[in-house]
Amino acid sequence: MSCSINLKNVSYKNDDKELFSNINVNIGHEEKVAIIGSNGVGKSTLLKIIAGLQHEYKGELHLFHNLIANKKEYESHRSDIGYLPQDVSDYFLCPTVIEDVMFNLRAKGENKQSAFHEAMLILESLGIHHLKDRIIYELSGGEQKIVALAGILITKPKIILLDEPTNALDSKAEEKIIDILNHIKKSMVIVSHHQSFIEKLAPTIYELKKDGLDLLK
């Protein structure tokens, strides 16, 4: 299996206090991996390191067999990575659903009509095309997560990073997210402390501890 993400001896210090160290993991092409761990152990930080949003770490991050030594080198892989933060309200950059889903394509220079067409296809495939003209902040938490996911999927990333994707969702919304994610054939790293959700989604589960990742499943 070709490797999408490779972490070698990654460690991270927050204000001189070591959060985690000795992180070694390979995540293959179209492999779904979950990372669990107790509160404050650094799950979100680890995901941000992979997402290229946290550069103050030690060790090596390889994406598609290329060593990422600095922020500049990461930028060439930026469009291959889709990152969903824990609080999706921070993810949105436009007022309405359709405008936000179109954002990434238009930022890349794609014209309005083709971006609109692609955004509609994504919204239809996720079953939320009826929300297209709604103001995002008026949507429920579950709907916002699916809209954010649409914003990620439209860029056709090779890797999807999800930070607590079912956080504060009811069971119906959670089932919908699981269904959507199960149909996506991409490398995926999911951070969550929601055991039942993870078991339905990821064949490989790691537990993040201070001194490394333990393979649970």
Partner 1 sequence: MIAFNPAISLLLAFFYSLVVSFSFFEIYFLLPIIFLLYIKKQNLLDIFKKLLFLNLFIFVLFLVLLFQSTFEDALNIYIRSNVIILFNLTLFYSSKGYDIVRGLSMLKFPNMFTASTYFTLKMIETLTSDFKNIKTTLRARGFKANTSLFAYETFGNILGMLFVKSIRKSQALKESFEARGFSGKIYLNDEFNINKYDYYLGFFVILIILLKVIL
Q: Where are any strands of DSSP class E within the chain?
A: 3-14, 17-28, 32-36, 57-63, 66-68, 81-84, 159-163, 187-191, 204-209, 212-215
Pick from 24, 38, 125, 135 the residue near partner 1 by CB under 8 A. 135
Residue 12 is a binding residue for partner 1 (CB under 8 A): no
Told to check if 90 binds partner 1 by CB under 8 A, we report yes
Interaction of residue 116 with partner 1, rule CB under 8 A: yes
Q: Is 104 in the site for partner 1 (CB under 8 A)?
A: yes
Q: Alpha-carbon distance 97 to 131, whole Å?
A: 7
Binding partner 1 by CB under 8 A: which of 31, 99, 164, 174? Answer: 99
Residue 39's φ and ψ, nearest 5 degrees, are -60, 135
Q: How does 52-78 read in b/e, with b if 16+ C-beta sit within 10 Å?
A: bbeeebeeebebbeeebeeeeebeebe
Among residues 32, 43, 48, 186, the one that binds partner 1 under rule CB under 8 A? 48
Shortest spacing between CB 108 and partner 1, in angstroms: 7
137 is a site residue for partner 1 (CB under 8 A): yes
Rule CB under 8 A: which residues touch partner 1?
48, 51-53, 78-79, 81, 83, 85, 87, 89-96, 98-99, 102-104, 106-108, 112, 116, 135, 137, 151
